[in-house]
Structure 1
Amino acid sequence: MAITASAPGRVNLIGEHTDYTGGLCLPFAIPYTTTVRLTRRDDDRIRLTTTHAPRPWEGRLLDAGPGAVAGWAAYAAGTLWALGEAGFDLPGMDVLIDSTVPIGAGLSSSASLEAAMAVGAVALCGRTLDSSLRRELVEVCRRAETEVVGAPTGGLDQHAVLLAPEGGALLLDFDGAPPRAVPLTWAEDRVVLVIIDTGVTHALVEGDYGSRRAECEAATAALGVRSLRAATLADLGRLQDPVLTRRARHVISENSRVEDAVAALGARDWTALGRTLNASHRSLRDDFEVSCPELDLAVDAALDAGALGARMTGGGFGGSAIALVPAERVDGCRRAVDAAFTRAGLAAPTHLDGTPSGAAAVIADDAASVGPGYSSGSSR
């Protein structure tokens, strides 16, 4: 038996570093995917092979827990381990992994791999991927990244790649309200969402992501609130530490910007949405301090070339920016960003398609979908 599953990358339109602080986020899926082909084995071995690394990983489910796997295999094997911990009775399997999601670009290549593995593995167990199971897999994938990989993520990415509506964004409320689909209709008004991959590698495990989360937790404790979602800008005067003040100000104001963005989307007011994106970038740059010169350059160049709004997207410390651009200015905007990078002595960025897409899914469930050498029980 063979299963082929796929999961997208994601762009977070707005709502950065708000998931782990009980706040609001607005991600959507993009048309770049991780595809996994899983073939059931006759033993309990797991063999993971990827087109992006020369050597496979092989072991048993018990070998895939926290501290046991490193590198790319930690995301894939860690997801299988988390599925086992959640009570799924997994068979041995051979897995071939391929991906078009840029790695290190802040577009959730890790969550894409986790979700594709989870969706494929549960299908291999004979489970039907309904909405309830999707929600269960969100926590499985988040646990894999947090406990096995060691990245203290808040769950935004896993929600996005597993639950995103086709052609729309997903309004996530980490204070308890259920996710809500938000239509993205800018294409109908000849507006384009451009993704600019700066080429600066974004690494949550190795970067300062954990320190930002710790600072938010310290601000929450100092304010005596259950989460920063419960705080207001007026509360900031009670914080004595200027760093914690800046971090909290970003989170509190970013939650308001998510609400503003949803309102602008509903009104199809692209100018207002652009202003909100700009304000988000300034806050991430100045208050949360997770931007970098290359991201700032991409944002500034896009705005100078006529973008309605632009911001860094993702956790920061590198990765990608997004720009909301009238269709007739897209080519000029991309050329202007490239020229700005050249003047700065930087390699040209990569421009990616920001078309809203669909969530993770099983795309084939027969042995014919699997290439040569991936028959049942193969030890290739």
Structure 2
Amino acid sequence: MRVVEAFRAAFGASPEAVWRAPGRVNLIGEHTDYNDGFVLPFAVPWGVTAAVTPRADRTIRLLSLQSPGETLTLAGHDEARGWARYVVGVFEMLGDRVAGADVAIDGDVPAGAGLSSSAALEVSVASALNDLHDLGMTPMELALLSQKAENDFVGMPCGIMDQAASALCEEGHALFLDCRSLGSRNIPLDLASHGLSMLIIDTQVHHEHANGEYAKRRAECESAARKLGVPALRDVTDLAAALEQLQGDERKRTMHVVTENHRVEALVGLLRAGAVTEIGALMNASHLSLRDQYEVTSPELDVAVEAAVKGGARGARMTGGGFGGSAIALVPVERLPEVEKTVSDAFAEHGFQAPRFLPATAAPGAHRLA
């Protein structure tokens, strides 16, 4: 394992624990998590591996195989910059329960694709520290701690979905998560037996949520909920009446969140009934709502979705926070080459950078490797 070899080379001994946590794709339920709604992510085969040995002092020594030749030695948490903030944020949230550590990181989540490498990084480190220090934290507690690290230390106001998916998902399943109660259950996602594949279309347009657009959408939703007199938009039961009380962007955001929650529940119902081939229409509707009501797509995402359906996908939608990143398409296996060609041709026609295609399977959540 190359992360172990890198750890030994840098720190002179083998790590005491090696944990891996995956990135995620969200099948449906976008921008509903911070509105106390429902989401349905599944873990992807790509993730982050953390090799960790505790230290008696407060020093954190970090290296990443994605930043070769650089070993960071941090005497204080406020010294963290860049990717190191996600690791150090976990230590910050654990407080006096842990001291320092030597940490080596290796990640293979495609950068900028919107597959939540940050949550994978946080959950892998948190899981290793939980294991090494016998903290007894449950997977959901680890997810919440990792989310808090990203919210309070990194400064990104993300919801719980990404970290929960990384910590709780099971192989061959999607995670149906109620983001208010934090109740969850894994729903079988057996695509192969239906002759289907979930194709990730990486637009190669890198996004940065912290640029303010993500925070702006969240603030709009919170403002709309206050005007409607409900704790969160999840609590809107009469959409028509609610929309009469709102104007402009807040009206559109509310329409998306309420209808998206219904789409999540409908899609879960189809999966539980074994009607996997029928979920495409809900994916299409989700994308149109994200494009027109939530306004978080991009020209590349819209072209990817339209071309995928034209090429034979049963449904497609953007996934993740938006503004770039990836779309997903539900594709009959025999149509994969045609879908990839149609999308590639459409990107070339629009003068976009060539997309990257990643067929995804539902992978396991965080687990110990060594």
1:198 corresponding residue in structure 2: 203
Matched, 1:209 2:214: yes
Counterpart residue number, 1:329: 335
Alignment partners' CA distance in 2, 1:91 and 1:3: 16
In the TM superposition, 1:1-380 aligns within 5 A as 2-41=16-55, 43-54=57-68, 55-60=70-75, 63-64=76-77, 68-84=79-95, 88=97, 90-127=98-135, 133-176=138-181, 178-231=183-236, 232-364=238-370
Q: Which is worse superposed, 227-236 or 290-299?
A: 227-236
Partner SS, residue 205 of structure 1: helix
**Structure 1 residue 91, shift from structure 2 partner:** 3.8
In 1, distance between residues paired with 2:290 and 2:239?
A: 16
Post-superposition offset of 1:119: 0.8
Q: Which amino acid aligns with 2:305?
A: V
Deviation for aligned residue 1:42: 5.0
What residue is the counterpart of 1:376 in the other structure? none
Contact 1:274-1:324 at 8 Å conserved across structures: yes
RCO greater where, 1 or 2, for CA within 8 Å and sep 6 or more?
A: 1
Instruction: Check the 8 A contact 1:341/1:347 in 2, yes or no.
Output: yes
C-alpha displacement of 1:177: 5.7
Please list every run of 5 or more consecutive structure 1 residues that lacks an aligned counterpart in the other structure: 365-380
Indicate conservation of the 8 Å contact 1:75/1:145, yes or no. yes
Looking at structure 2, the residues matched to 287 and 271 of structure 1 have their Cα atoms a distance apart, in angstroms, of 26
Moved over 4 A (4+): none
One-letter code of the match for 2:233? L
CA distance in 2, matches of 1:56, 1:353: 34
How far apart, in 2, do the equivalents of 1:42 and 1:11 lie? 38
Moved more, 134-143 or 12-21: 134-143
Q: Name the % identity.
A: 45
The alignment of Structure 1 onto Structure 2 pairs a total of residues equal to: 354
Structure 2 counterpart of 1:329, one-letter code: R
In structure 2, what residue type is equivalent to 1:285? Answer: R
Read off the aligned partner of 1:313 and give its amino acid letter: T
1:12 positional shift: 0.5
Query: Aligned partners of 1:271 and 1:163: how far apart in 2?
Result: 25
Q: 2:300 corresponds to which letter in structure 1?
A: E
Q: CA RMSD in A?
A: 1.5
- TM-score of the two chains, using structure 2 as the length reference: 0.92
Unaligned runs of 5+ in 2: 1-14
Deviation at 1:256, TM superposition (A): 0.3
3-state SS in 1 of match to 2:111 = coil
What is the one-letter code of the residue matched to 1:57?
L
Q: Do the aligned residues in 2 keep the contact of 1:30 with 1:353 (CA within 8 Å)?
A: no
